[in-house]
Structure 1
Amino acid sequence: MKVGIFFCGSQQEFTHQLLQTAERRSIPAAAYRIGQTWEQLDGQEFQFHLRQITHIIILITPRALRSRWFAFLNGYASGGDIPVYLCCRRSAECDFRLPQYVQHIPLYTEVDELMDELLREQDIDSAVQRIENAKAELTAMGYPLTEEALVSSAEDGIAAAVSWFLQIGFSPDTLNKAGVPILNLAARQQHLKVMRLLLESGADVNLAGADRRTTVLMESAVQGAMDAVDLVLEYAPDLDRQSASGQTALMMAIGEGQLAIAMRLLDQGAAVEPVDALGMTAYKYAKLFDHQELIERLEQISR
């Protein structure tokens, strides 16, 4: 962002105030005093200065409104899709009628209000620039800007690419063609960095895949990935969500022999009552696989 402040006559003091305020707000700005001989300036030099400007502030007076440079600047801004802001030092000094062709342009009499608006514009510009940078990075990495490419990068554990996709605006809840969330795909491959990135970006921790109706907690429990389980637990998942076969993350952990994870889930309050499609409970699975320590823990909970 580069703000150009254009003024004429004896407005140096007000212009200096604007520049100081812009500097305090970290808004890049430069001032340009328009004299009577402005049309005699070297055209290339004038165009060079204007090309650097992304936003134009015009300090208006009755004299400025009658000038040719005022019409020129507004025409230049309109042609280049550059935002224009009219500014007058005090409301009392703005007691004049604006030409019809600029009546749609916002007029500010308070410096802070103008700077607030420029800060909002700066935030928008920064966001747009981040998106363009992310697109360039993905292109350089050989990724097309598609959901399929995001799915591939998440499944392969390419955290940098996933980050760029998210910055562009792709959803952290993107699904593959089978309806499985990319968070779950990352968990299946134990890509902890990608999982953290997706969760920090707002991925739904309870979103289940269409294939097995499993959540990321279930996927992590089955993999025996304690780091992944602990990460998911930070985001308050539903501990007792059941898969297509009716199993909870606790049941799956017991079935896979991941006893440390089963204990962790119990510590977090996982329920022992759910029954799966086979009529099995967490306790019955512990008995089936003869996990004695877990059997004792479950019996204590059930008392």
Structure 2
Amino acid sequence: MKVGIICVPSREADGTLFQELLSNKGIFADLLHVYGGWEKQISGWIESCTHFMVLPERTDFSASWFNYIAGFCNGSGRFLLIFSPDGLPPHFSGFPSVAEPGAALAHWLQEKEAWEKAEEIRGAKESLAAAGLFFHPEDLSRMAAAGEQETVELFMRAGMSADTRNRRGVPLLSLAVRGGHKHLVEYLLSIGCDIDAESGDRGNTALMDAAAEGEVEIAGILVRARAGLDVASRNGQTALILAVGQGNIGIASLLIQAGAAVDMRDSLGMSAYDYAKLFRHEELLALMEARGIREAREK
């Protein structure tokens, strides 16, 4: 980002002040004084600036240099801020303007933040293209399923959502869980993905997928991140029912101790407790019964 500050001789002190203020905030600013022969000075310089600030006197709004800058910014889509304590003529009212140095500095700090974000997005998209990837949900989903965390982070910097889904409706978090990619799960949670989003193919949450896949460590991460323990799938199965049914004792124990309901029934009318009895998981039955006794005593 380079701010070109343009001022007439009578406003040189103001121009120098703004140059110093911006430089102190990490914004590169270059000052151009409009004297006679400004046309020769401005031709190459103006192309090197990404943003402009002009400090005109009231009479300069009809000057050729001012109209040249305004026309250049309009045509090139570059940002132009006018510092004018006396206000703007009606035909320049479409340009942003400020009347005080403090307001001008606040404006440039805001613009710097927006510029840096836009540059980050542009750079990330260029890096994706260089890697042969499209800025598209399917390419992102493929990287998430493969556990390519650095590439997933690149997609996020390029502006993709953490709740992106593939064509089957499976969220990134579920893809990471199914692939056993613990660090990617942690990253997606850290940037605010929907922890209880249900997949379009199975109707499962990420916790249900962890229970079904036997991903004990990932299940622990999701429980600590406050995933919904008793969310039910289309057929009424909870993460605990899935864990018991799959014989994933470690995950089932984790969920029981975390407070998952043991008596919720699925579409077959069976609860996690019923499945534990059916499959003779004595350890789980003991945990469930001990918790039930404890809860009864606490009431």
TM-score, with structure 1 as normaliser: 0.88
**Residue segments in structure 1 that go unaligned for 5+ positions in a row:** none
SS in 2 for 1:11: helix
1:64 equivalent in alignment to 2:54: no
Amino acid across the alignment from 1:278: L
Distance 2:204 2:67 in 1: 64
1:172 equivalent in alignment to 2:162: yes
Distance 2:29 2:221 in 1: 45
Correspondent of 1:114 among 65, 89, 104: 104
Distance 1:33 1:168 in 2: 39
Q: CA 1:176–1:38 in 2, change beyond 3 Å: closer, same or farther?
A: closer
Residue 293 of structure 1 and its aligned partner are, at CA, apart by: 2.2
Aligned to 1:3: 3
Distance 1:73 1:141 in 2: 39
Q: CA 1:12–1:141 in 2, change beyond 3 Å: closer, same or farther?
A: same
Q: CA 1:36–1:168 in 2, change beyond 3 Å: closer, same or farther?
A: same
Aligned pairs for 1:202-241 within 5 A? 202-241=192-231
Aligned to 1:189: 179
Distance 1:222 1:202 in 2: 24
TM-score, with structure 2 as normaliser: 0.90
Distance 1:10 1:229 in 2: 69
1:74 equivalent in alignment to 2:70: yes
SS in 2 for 1:112: helix
**Residue segments in structure 2 that go unaligned for 5+ positions in a row:** 294-299
Correspondent of 1:265 among 255, 258, 262: 255
Q: CA 1:208–1:31 in 2, change beyond 3 Å: closer, same or farther?
A: same
Residue 68 of structure 1 and its aligned partner are, at CA, apart by: 2.2
1:286 equivalent in alignment to 2:282: no
Amino acid across the alignment from 2:65: W
Q: CA 1:9–1:177 in 2, change beyond 3 Å: closer, same or farther?
A: closer
Residue 291 of structure 1 and its aligned partner are, at CA, apart by: 2.3
Aligned to 1:35: 35
Distance 1:107 1:186 in 2: 48
Could you tell which deviates more after superposition, 105-114 or 59-68? 59-68
Aligned to 1:48: 44
Amino acid across the alignment from 1:109: A
Q: CA-atom RMSD, angstroms? A: 2.0
Distance 1:143 1:14 in 2: 48
Distance 1:118 1:155 in 2: 41
Amino acid across the alignment from 1:35: Y
Aligned to 1:134: 124
Residue 128 of structure 1 and its aligned partner are, at CA, apart by: 1.6
SS in 1 for 2:54: strand
Q: CA 1:279–1:99 in 2, change beyond 3 Å: closer, same or farther?
A: closer
Distance 1:151 1:108 in 2: 46
Correspondent of 2:233 among 243, 246, 265: 243
Distance 2:221 2:24 in 1: 40
Aligned to 1:151: 141
Contact 2:11 2:56 in 1 (8 A): no
Aligned to 2:80: 84
Aligned pairs for 1:83-102 within 5 A? 83-88=79-84, 91=85, 94=86, 98-102=88-92
Distance 2:97 2:131 in 1: 46
Residue 240 of structure 1 and its aligned partner are, at CA, apart by: 0.3
Distance 2:83 2:98 in 1: 5
Distance 1:71 1:212 in 2: 62
Distance 1:77 1:145 in 2: 30
Aligned length: 293
Q: CA 1:246–1:66 in 2, change beyond 3 Å: closer, same or farther?
A: closer
